[in-house]
């Protein structure tokens, strides 16, 4: 599931960058790609932190890994947004729109899991 979310986010980021680039130009497309990476990289970080546990890990270890992963994910997101503002202030709307679109990948994955459970 984590791989699916990351791949969908990358697909959304690429599609958004292409569309934004065609409408507003190359700089906006680069900002859009950075917005996509601002969504994807923290997701990858969280997945690595959470799923790097051995299968027989105690529940406390898994919960602790989830909390540490989420804190790291939030911190990484904040740093990437700070960097995005510093690098792409004039194109920040493109960055933010792509980031928001990439967050839809979570909902798409949840909907897919929900539909798969009903079959």
What's the whole-model pTM score? Answer: 0.86
Mean per-residue pLDDT of the chain: 90
**Residue 51: inside a domain:** yes
In this prediction, residue 27 has a pLDDT band, given cuts at 50, 70 and 90, of very high
**Residue 10: inside a domain:** yes
Residue 116 has pLDDT above 80, yes or no: no
Whole-angstrom Cα distance, residue 97 to residue 45?
Answer: 22
**Residue 56: inside a domain:** yes
**Residue 39: inside a domain:** yes
In which domain, by residue range, is 70 found? Answer: 2-114
**Residue 119: inside a domain:** no
* Count of structural domains within the chain: 1
Q: Under DSSP, is residue 58 helix (H, G, I), strand (E, B) or coil?
A: coil
**Over pLDDT 90: what percentage of the chain?**
64
**Residue 106: inside a domain:** yes
What is the pLDDT, as a whole number, of residue 70? 94
**Residue 79: inside a domain:** yes
Q: How many helices (H) and strands (E) does the chain have?
A: 4, 0
In this prediction, residue 88 has a pLDDT band, given cuts at 50, 70 and 90, of very high
For the chain, percent helix, then strand, then coil, each to nearest 5? 90, 0, 10
**Residue 20: inside a domain:** yes
For 62, the token pair is: 């898994």
């Amino acid at each position: 599931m984590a791989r699916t979310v990351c791949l969908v986010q990358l697909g959304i980021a690429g599609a958004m960058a292409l569309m934004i680039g065609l409408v507003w130009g190359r700089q906006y497309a680069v900002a859009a790609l950075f917005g996509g990476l601002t969504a994807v990289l923290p997701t990858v970080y969280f997945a690595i932190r959470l799923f790097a546990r051995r299968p027989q890990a105690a529940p406390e270890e898994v919960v602790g890994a989830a909390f540490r992963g989420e804190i790291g994910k939030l911190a990484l997101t904040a740093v990437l947004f700070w960097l995005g503002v510093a690098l792409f202030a004039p194109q920040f709307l493109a960055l933010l729109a792509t980031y928001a679109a990439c967050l839809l990948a979570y909902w798409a994955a949840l909907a897919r899991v929900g539909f798969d459970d009903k079959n």
